[in-house]
Structure 1
Amino acid sequence: MTVPTDQPTEVQAAILTFVEARTRTSWDPGADIFATGGLSSLFAMELVVHLEKTFGISIGGADMRLENFRTVDSMVGLVTRLGGHASA
């Protein structure tokens, strides 16, 4: 049985919930959340801290590139690659 790719994963849903609550905007998982110009570097650091605490990962070095945080999908990929899992 194939899992539909349009179904949000637990990780994706958790990240979307955080981003949408902080920005008060609904986002498509593939949308560039920084392209709007309304998000700050402080928000980027909040994302890093949130991902680390929520998914039990450590983000540093080469992983601290904006490309890893531009979209919810890219953040899901980062969390998955670093072995994170939802804490809920």
Structure 2
Amino acid sequence: MSHTIDPQTPGTLSAGQARRSLTEFLEASTKSTVDPAQDLFSAGLISSLFALQLVVHLEREFGVTVAGDDLRLDNFRSVDAMVALLVRLGGARDD
């Protein structure tokens, strides 16, 4: 189940809800089970090209802008890393 929010009201979801939403998105996209702490790149689940799709997904789903230093692959290495990025950018509130 996707937890789409209104981009005009970022931070509506808690970090836990964002974690579930991202996990569901990744599992649907990769057809694999995803652990939130799992290194998605080393597991071969996502490529650098799919990381660009993740940027677009985060911006649309959570109403954030990912730019500059935030575009590092480390911010997309795991669901937990993406949730931390969302909290920093105000797209989710800390639990």
Which is bigger in relative contact order (C-alpha 8 A, separation at least 6)?
2
TM range (shorter): 0.7 to 0.9
- 1:6-17 superposed matches below 5 A: 9-17=16-24
> Which has more radius of gyration?
1
Q: TM-score scaled by structure 2? A: 0.77
Superposed CA RMSD in Å reads 1.6
| Change in 2 beyond 3 A, CA 1:19/1:38 | closer
Q: TM-score scaled by structure 1? A: 0.83
Once the two structures are aligned, what percentage of the paired residues are identical? 48
Partner SS for 1:9: helix
Which residue of structure 2 aligns with residue 32 of structure 1? 39
Unaligned 5+ segments in structure 2 are 1-14
**Contact (CA 8 Å) 2:83, 2:92: kept in 1 or not?**
no
Offset of residue 38 of structure 1? 4.8
Which residue of structure 2 aligns with residue 18 of structure 1? 25
**Contact (CA 8 Å) 1:51, 1:57: kept in 2 or not?**
yes
